[in-house]
A = this chain, B = another copy of it.
Amino acid sequence: MNISTRFAVAIHILALLEINKGDKNTSEWIAGSVGTNPVVIRRITSMLGKAGLIEVRPGVAGAKLARAAGEITLLDIYLAVDAVGQDSLFAVHDHPNPDCPVGQNIAGAILPVFSLAQQAMEDVLRKVTLEQIASQIPV
Main DSSP-derived SS at the A contact region? helix
The answer to whether A33 touches B96 (Cβ under 8 A) is yes
Most buried by B among A11, A19, A97, A124: A124
Cross-chain contact B34 with A2 (CB below 8 angstroms): no
- Which A residues lie at the B interface, using CB under 8 A? 1-5, 7-9, 11-12, 15-16, 19, 32-36, 74, 83-85, 87-97, 100-103, 105-106, 108-110, 113, 116-118, 120-125, 128, 133, 136-139
B91, A11: Cβ atoms closer than 8 Å: no
Q: How many whole Å from A124's CB to the nearest CB in chain B?
A: 4
Give the residues in chain B near A74, CB-CB below 8 Å: 113
Question: With A2-B84, A102-B16 in contact, do A110 and B133 touch (Cβ < 8 Å)?
Answer: yes
- Count of chain copies: 2
Q: A32-B97, A117-B121, A118-B121 provided; 10 other pairs, C-beta below 8 A?
A: A2-B91, A5-B92, A5-B93, A8-B110, A12-B106, A15-B109, A35-B95, A74-B113, A106-B133, A116-B124
A41: shortest Cβ distance to chain B, in Å?
11
